[in-house]
Structure 1
Amino acid sequence: MPNIFTKNHLILTFGLWFSSFFVQAESFASTLFGDNSRWSIDASARANRNTDKPHNAYTYSLGLDVHKVFSRGNKDLGTLMLQPYLVTLNNVNAAPFYFDDGDAQTHR
């Protein structure tokens, strides 16, 4: 019997991977954050396949990259780089400590 859960996750993984090629900052208003700025949207998916057991793990992330240069006259005063991300883990045994919410569940 095929594992539908795994097939759906693989479809989502490849869908996010292919869609990242089509998201361009030029498609939107690049002046959203003012002059001397640029931004982009990052979408990624990672599938880890365990060949010994029927245990596959998935990581999905969605982020925004912002780069802004503050200038006065002919001088650059500073640069702001901001990269907030949303990350979700599915079926991961050993999640990094920053994903620990005190309610750890181990999938086997």
Structure 2
Amino acid sequence: MLIRIVRMTFAPERVPEFLQLFEASENQIRSMPGCRFLELWQDADQPHVYCTHSHWDSADALNAYRRSALFGQVWPATKALFAAPPLTFSVTPATPDQQAADSVQ
């Protein structure tokens, strides 16, 4: 499983537009092959900063979504609302078994 976090800073006056865009597309994103989970977080101290938190079967599944027509519509519309560049990263769950295997290599 791949977990994807995207931290986005919006111009405060553009937040309603972003929320409308997210609401209109969230179920379509959740329906993409390989998407297991999607939620939206709002920063507790900076209300114009949001993060998407999503779970994907694999990097290939995430990349297939990133090549989709849906992403081609949603991401440019979202980027137009940014007040700063986004911060994106992918992580995988760390389990004791994985950590032990990694330390041997």
Name the TM-score class by shorter chain. 0.3 to 0.5
Q: Which has the higher strand share?
A: 1
User: Larger RCO: Structure 1 or Structure 2 (Cα < 8 Å, ≥ 6 residues apart)?
Assistant: 2
Q: Which has the higher helix share?
A: 2
Q: Which has the larger radius of gyration?
A: 1
TM-score (norm 2): 0.32
